[in-house]
Amino acid sequence: AKPDRIAVACDHMGIDRKRQLIEMLQQLGHNVHDHGTYSAERCDFPDQAACVGQAVSSGAADWGLLVCGTGAGMSMAANKVAGVRAALVSDTFTARMTRRHNNANVICIGSWVVG
């Protein structure tokens, strides 16, 4: 099977966690496209959510991963993109189940919540 194409983005509160997740996903063999943000400078999370949402919706990415402080804002913003089914998760069980039972195609994580 070919590696998944994963679109990843964060706001200024999720940079460190995003970098950790990208490294992990790449080590697992996935193709990761980083949609930003790239600095700790304050930014608007809906912009990053829209980039990942469009990548998933258009088929450019198989899955999306978004990180902000709580994950809630990213989840709400991503779900405004047609074809996106974003879920806020804070543990592996919820992540697995929301994919299996709810067909989520974007996972949203809170950097303040997930350790």
Global pTM reads 0.95
pLDDT value for 5: 97
> For the chain, what is the largest distance between any 2 Cα atoms, rounded to a whole number of angstroms?
39
Other C-beta atoms closer than 10 Å to the C-beta of 22 total 18
Please report the domains of the chain, with CATH numbers, ordered by start residue.
Answer: 5-110 (3.40.1400.10)
pLDDT means per 10 residues in the chain (115 residues)?
90 95 96 95 94 98 97 97 98 94 97 88
Beta strands in the chain (DSSP E): 5-10, 31-34, 63-68, 86-88, 106-110
d(CA 81, CA 105): 12
Q: Quick check: is 68 catalytic?
A: yes
Q: What is the pLDDT of residue 108?
A: 98
List 10, 51, 68, 108, catalytic entry: 68
Structure confidence at residue 1 (pLDDT): 67
* 101 is a catalytic site residue: yes
